[in-house]
Amino acid sequence: MKNELGILKKVGLGIVFTLFWSVSITAQSNRLFTIKGEVYDAQTNEVLSLASIRLEGTSYTTVSNDDGVFSIKYNENENPTHLVVSYLGYRTARIALGENDSRKETLRVGLISDTIRLEGVDVNNSEDAKAIVLKMLDTYDKQKPFQSKTAVSFFRERINRRNRNLSITEAVIEIQKDHMREGLNGAYVIESRKRNDYKPLDTIALKLQGGPYNLLYLDLLSHRNDILDDESIDKYNFRLDGTVRYDDQDVFIIHFEQREEVFEPLYKGELYITVGSYKLARSNFELNITNSDEAAKLFVRKKPKSLQIEPTRVAYRIDYGVSDSDPILNYADLQMDFTINWKRRLFNRNYTVSAEMAFTQWDASEKEEVKPRSERLRPTVIMVDSESGFTDPNFWRNYNVIEPDQTIETILKRIERQLRRAR
């Protein structure tokens, strides 16, 4: 049995418990225009979180937050033609924009449900489902090599114990990729801020190892470990669960889960693959944690000997843009729920570790400009504590970010109050 999954081994994703013994892409100089909006279901008025937002005619993208709210900025020398809003199972909205269109009022974007079902598709045919997956991989592998690409992304990481926030990290990161199949050239911090809120009575401090790499290595096209690589794909059963609409395209829903005779902890989830073009649009998957002891070994890098760790849920999501010729990452997130217990102590504690990253700009690079290795984030990085910026409401004025939802806004306001009192 493997001690580590390939995805986790490659990224170095880990949880570090520390025992408490005592009680350069530069900021744009051009003027920025901003479009703010809210995405919702036009029939039910329910907000639609993690809707894909892009400015047609530019390379700028973002996603809506948990409240359906978004903002997207662009430079005055760029004139996007349309604001395009996409959501799985809905018709894509295209809103015409004028020259240097900047919306001071919130734009409400109501999307219309658009479910379909392809005739002649046997949704119980496992062979057809696996064939679709293999066709998707083959199509991807036969594409001409990608240009070197540089991405700007917004990264947010949170650690919570029940309802209490222990840590929040936000960063704008530059990502250099040299022909996506060959992997990362490196990830570099442009701007960041972090705040920990451990109190003297806390007995342990929890930190997440890997930072943005935890999400970058979830790219199932570039890093196929344990799901789509040649060794692992036969360890899964595949099932076609019908079709759905996404970004004005028909998309297969392929369910996968490990075979009963496979005992190592692998995954189950869904692959969303476009009909005809065979592009991977999205993947949602969870780790099989039936064997909690083995699952815990995948994550915990350091802990006191008397501490017992039991994962209760480990879930991932990654979205791709399917409107361009090359598949590009739009959004990725992970969530880990687990329980810790001290031996011979009555009560346990529940923790949630979450991280998300929106890729807000992709640019093809014609020049070989590689930043110094010394500035590169290591895959085993633990983001450095830094409180600077939490008292500045315009800290992210030059960058596209995932707008904070109500929960995060409450946390940020509390941090701001704490820092102002400390001064």
Q: How confident is the model at residue 224 (pLDDT cuts 50, 70, 90)?
A: confident
Q: What pLDDT, on a 0 to 100 scale, did the predictor assign at position 327?
A: 67
Domain extents in the chain: 6-24+120-422, 32-111
In this prediction the pTM is 0.86
> What was the pLDDT predicted at 11?
45
| Per-residue three-class SS string for the chain | CCCCCHHHHHHCCEEEEEECCCCCCCCCCCCEEEEEEEEEECCCCCECCCCEEEEECCCEEEECCCCCEEEEEEECCCCCCEEEEECCCECCEEEECCCCCCCCCCEEEEECECCCCCCCCCCCCHHHHHHHHHHHHHHHHHCCCCCEEEEEEEEEEEEEECCEEEEEEEEEEEEEECCHHHCEEEEEEEEEEEEECCCCCCCEEEEEECCCHHHHCCCCCCCCCCCCCCCCHHHEEEEEEEEEEECCEEEEEEEEEECCCCCCCCEEEEEEEECCCCCEEEEEEEECCCCHHHHHHCCEEECCCCEEEEEEEEEEEEEEECCCCCCEEEEEEEEEEEEEEECCCCCCEEEEEEEEEEEEEEEEECCCCCCCHHHCCCCCCCCCCCCCCCCCCCCCCCCCCCCCCHHHHHHHHHHHHHHHHHC
Average pLDDT of the chain is 80
pLDDT tens readout for residues 73-120: 988 888 888 999 999 999 999 999 877 677 777 899 999 998 665 555
Q: Which among 61, 357, 90 is positioned nearest to 246, based on CA atoms?
A: 90
> Is 365's pLDDT higher than 60?
no
Calculate the alpha carbon distances from 12 to 15, 52, 158, 194, 286 in Å: 10, 29, 18, 21, 18
Q: What type of residue sits at position 80?
A: P
Predicted pLDDT of residue 211: 82
Pick the residue with more confidence: 116 or 31? 31
Residue 23: the pLDDT is 36
Chain Cα centroid distance, residue 208: 15
pLDDT at residue 132, as a whole number: 94
pLDDT at position 229: 85
| Per-residue model confidence as pLDDT tens digits over 284-338 | 999 888 877 777 776 776 667 777 778 889 899 999 987 666 667 899 999 988 8
Distance (Å, whole) CA 98 – CA 100: 6
For residue 408, give the amino acid letter.
I
Buried b or exposed e, range 113-123, using 16+ CB within 10 angstroms: eeeeeeeeeeb
* Per-residue model confidence as pLDDT tens digits over 189-210: 899 998 888 765 565 667 777 7
What average pLDDT does the segment 388-406 reach? 88
pLDDT for position 77: 84
**Lowest-confidence range among 66-75, 126-135, 181-190, 245-254?**
181-190
Judged against a pLDDT cut of 60, whether residue 26 lies above it is answered with: no
- For residue 420, count other CB atoms closer than 10 A to its CB: 10
Q: Which range among 107-121, 132-146, 251-265 has the greatest average pLDDT?
A: 251-265
The pLDDT of residue 12 is above 60: no
CATH classification for the domain delimited by 32-111, as one of 3.40.190.10, 2.60.40.1120, 2.20.28.270, 3.30.420.40: 2.60.40.1120
Listed in sequence order, the residues at least 6 apart from 26 whose beta carbon sits closer than 8 Å to its beta carbon are: none
What is the sign, positive or negative, of the torsion defined by CA atoms of 379, 63, 78, 281? positive
